[in-house]
Amino acid sequence: MHLDKETQWVANYSDLANSFAQECRKLCNENPSNHEDPLGIIMNCTMTELWDFGFSQTEIRNAFLETVKDISRYAAGEERR
């Protein structure tokens, strides 16, 4: 089946986000050094990688802030799935 470019783009970022989240969960569950905030460490590393790949401070900051603003809507008031 051939997908148009926009549909393929959505599928690609959805797949990437899903894979990233799975790997984050795996690493957080393993956490052999018992870091207090393993997800925070991963997100900080993600931020630095985005910076290193040419995203601006503004682009990175806005992406993180907009995402955090949207979590209440997505989670519908629940703290954890």
pLDDT digits (tens, 9 = 90+) for 15-61: 999 999 999 999 999 999 898 999 999 999 999 999 999 999 999 99
Residues 77 and 43 in one domain: yes
Residues 41 and 72 in one domain: yes
Report pTM.
0.83
Residues 21 and 55 in one domain: no
Residues 73 and 47 in one domain: yes
**Cα–Cα distance for residue pair 3/26, rounded to 1 Å:** 31
Residues 47 and 78 in one domain: yes
Please, what is the end-to-end C-alpha distance for the chain in angstroms?
Answer: 33
* Three-class SS state of 29: helix
